Copies of this chain bind each other. A is one copy, B any other.
Amino acid sequence: MDAAIAGAVETGSFTAVVRASNHFGIAGWYALRAADAGLIGISMTNSSPLVAATRGVDPVLGTNPLAVAAPAGTAGHFCLDMATSTITRGKVEVASRRHEQLQPGWAIDAEGRPTTDPAAAFEGALLPLGGVEETGGHKGYGLTLLVDILTGVLGGSTAAPLIIPLFSTQGGAADLGQVFMAIDPEAIDEPGAFEARLEQELELLTGSRTAPGAPDRILIPGEPETAAERRSDERGVVMDPEHHQNLIEIGERAGAPFPATTPIGG
């Protein structure tokens, strides 16, 4: 991403492709580096197969996140950071641990039938954003595939359906692909002009009328995550006891003791 930022400052826009990679963490983290520098940043990665194609049964594509960030003056940063599947695998894990059901349209079982059972979803596949075909899932399938094309296919990594499973310790490297793009608005405008326009746009949006029963005002994409980051900076990172215990044990095995923690009840 730093190469894309430097390139965009010089030429207006720049695309950097990474091959033979692995899980890259939070997609938005990279896009936000560009926003911090006053540019528009885009980052994407492909990932291990978990998502079915529309009409399909088997997991053939990853949850392939797409992140775009841009600076908006006093409104903060716009940061859209989304899996192109309806949900992430993490949400299925949480539902499974809490013995909760999934929402309809989130997953299918090993035979391709819609399911709300987390255990059946682990054996089957997640659905792309939009769910099944009748509710627009073909758009999400297109988005998931689009991310794969701009990352793995462009860079020459393993074809998506052949990527090794998540958490696999055999079968070689993940060989994922990533793309990082940056656009410098100053290439076509006065310094600060783009940022001022985006600030005005976001103020118009977040200040507009809310629907009956809305839990709060209209948000800017990335706003809940920025608030969560601020809370964690101030009060530490909150985690559940099971997760905490796992990390202590992993730390002991690895000879890296887990740092001190503070119980906060609950």
Verify B142–A80 contact, CB threshold 8 A.
yes
Q: Per-residue CB proximity of A59-102 to B under 8 Å, as 1/0?
A: 01100000010100000001010100011000000000000000
Chain B residues near A193: list those with CB within 8 A: 156
Q: A13-B15, A55-B219, A161-B204 are in contact. Are A145 and B78 (CB under 8 A)?
A: yes
Size category of the binding interface on chain A:
35 or more
Judge if A38 is at the interface, Cβ distance under 8 Å. no
Distance, CA A138 to CA B83, complexed state (A):
12
Inter-subunit contact A145/B212 (CB<8 Å): no
Q: Does A113 contact B (CB under 8 A)?
A: yes
Interface assignment of A165: CB less than 8 Å from any CB of chain B:
no
Q: Does A9 sit within 8 A of B, measured CB to CB?
A: no
Q: Which residues of B contact A5 (CB under 8 A)?
A: none
CB distance from A108 to the nearest CB of B (A): 7
Interface string of A3-22 (1 = CB under 8 A from B): 00000000111110100000
Which single residue of chain B is at the shortest CB-CB distance from A61? B205
Tell me if A159 counts as interface (CB < 8 A to partner B): yes
Task: Kindly provide the distance from the CB of A131 to the nearest chain B CB, expressed in whole angstroms.
Answer: 8
Supply 16 further A-B pairs (C-beta < 8 A) apart from A108-B211, A112-B209: A12-B15, A15-B183, A55-B211, A55-B216, A55-B217, A57-B210, A58-B208, A68-B149, A86-B136, A129-B129, A129-B140, A138-B219, A148-B201, A153-B201, A154-B185, A161-B208
